Structure 1
Amino acid sequence: MSITLIIIGITVIASLYAWNNQTIFQKWILNPYTVQRRKEYHRLLTSGLIHNDYMHLFFNMFALYFFGELIEQTYIMAFGQLGAVLYVGLYVLGIIASDIPTYLKHRNHPHYNSLGASGGVASVVFSSILFYPTEKICLYFVFCLPSFIFGAIYMLYSYMQAKRGGDYINHDAHLFGAIFGIVFSVITMPSVVMHFFNQVAGWRLIE
């Protein structure tokens, strides 16, 4: 069984468990105010194990499966067993890194909560974009774009929505998860930068 499937399994089980145990749900959700007051820093990670509902869980895990399997194999092919550790680090640290800006932004807001694995998933997705920039990403299996164009639109949208706010989606986590995925990939495999630009430079709208 792949590491990606293990992560998905753990996340699904954790979400189902928390939905049926509100005490655990409230202990795991990211409430920046509580993190600051009680020093409950575990919430920066445990909030990535739980989701709001089945649809939220499905979309995150579907994206993780689609992109995670590819990046997991990329890291393992490049580093062997160490690649598996680096892949887990990309995902887990992506969740934590994407939650830190949310914590700093809302640590004085008692009623603000955030949850979901979106930051970690975004880290994996944008690592994939860096390694495979001309591969197609399709929205709703119909509207397809090269991944580097999709990535640019996604980051711009997340930035604008984070500034606008008001839609109850943590766009900061999406944006900073994506940034972390890029930074992590460049640090672990610096050659990916030249590879990315060579691939994009050789891309043509009409093949």
Structure 2
Amino acid sequence: MDIPVAPAVYALIIANIALSVYALSFNRSFAEEFAFNVGALIKHKQHYRVFTSSFLHGDYFHLFFNMMTLFFFGPVVERILGTDGFLVVYFGAILTSGIVSFYANRDNLAYTSLGASDGVSGVILSFCLFFPLEPIYFLFIPIGIPAIIFGVLFMLISARMMGGGGRIAHEGHLGGAIAGVILTLMMRPDLFVHYFG
């Protein structure tokens, strides 16, 4: 079996694992210093947190789930869009997620989030555009959901769950997913014609 050449994906996985393990096992305050936090953005203008937060995770399951998802979907998207195109989708999703999360929670200075889910959401939705009928299996559900249906449901559920509290940053997922769709269509307008032409 040929392993797709995906240097950006593998570099991101290594960086996420290294930084997350350091924060989880050796220096808990590291995550607090670099997590996305509305108060830090407003009071201290620490805008870098929008990006640094995406390399940190709340626990090892969170890290494993995000990296496993990136490992399965990322190389395919990087092969199709090229490394530069893949990075545009990934970091564009992170930036958009940060903007959406900030405005959705701008009155809550204590709001904090972390994890690569924003960038990964962008990659998944990009994949869905290229392979709309490919079955996607979610956790332990044995029946695959067609990618395009999965993508639509993912965005609808994320939008519905925004502001509901809990540990999942649904607004970040939605922002990342929307960016994944828009940026992919901008780089591959032939997909737009395919779906809407």
Number of equivalenced pairs:
190
- The residue type paired with residue 14 of structure 2 is G
Name the CA distance, whole Å, in 1 between partners of 2:130 and 2:196. 10
**Counterpart position of 1:86:** 85
- C-alpha distance after superposition, 1:161-195 (max 9, x if no partner): 115x0222110011111100000001111101233
Cα pair 1:133 1:196 within 8 Å, conserved: no
* Residue 49 (structure 2) aligned to one of 32, 43, 68: 43
Map 1:21-100 to 2 at 5 A. 21-75=27-81, 83-100=82-99
Cα pair 2:38 2:110 within 8 Å, conserved: no
Is 2:123 aligned against 1:124? yes
Name the CA distance, whole Å, in 1 between partners of 2:165 and 2:65. 21
Gaps of 5+ in 2: none
Structure 1 residue 197 displacement after superposition: 5.7
Gaps of 5+ in 1: 76-82, 199-207
Cα pair 2:53 2:113 within 8 Å, conserved: yes
- C-alpha distance after superposition, 1:110-148 (max 9, x if no partner): 321100011100000000001111111112261211101
- The residue type paired with residue 23 of structure 2 is A
Structure 1 residue 86 displacement after superposition: 1.7
Cα pair 1:130 1:148 within 8 Å, conserved: yes
- The residue type paired with residue 119 of structure 1 is D
**Counterpart position of 2:171:** 172
- The residue type paired with residue 98 of structure 1 is S
**Counterpart position of 1:15:** 20
Question: What percent identity do the matched residue pairs reach?
Answer: 34
Structure 1 residue 105 displacement after superposition: 2.4
Structure 1 residue 70 displacement after superposition: 0.6
Superposed CA RMSD in Å reads 1.6
Cα pair 2:135 2:145 within 8 Å, conserved: yes
Name the CA distance, whole Å, in 1 between partners of 2:72 and 2:123. 10
Structure 1 residue 108 displacement after superposition: 3.2
Name the CA distance, whole Å, in 2 between partners of 1:17 and 1:182. 33
Name the CA distance, whole Å, in 2 between partners of 1:31 and 1:6. 25
CA gap of 1:106–1:174, structure 2 versus 1, over 3 A, is same
Other structure's SS at 2:112 match: coil
Name the CA distance, whole Å, in 1 between partners of 2:114 and 2:148. 27
Moved more, 99-108 or 167-176: 99-108
Structure number with greater Rg is: 1
Structure 1 residue 23 displacement after superposition: 3.2
* TM superposition score normalised by structure 1: 0.86
Cα pair 2:93 2:118 within 8 Å, conserved: yes
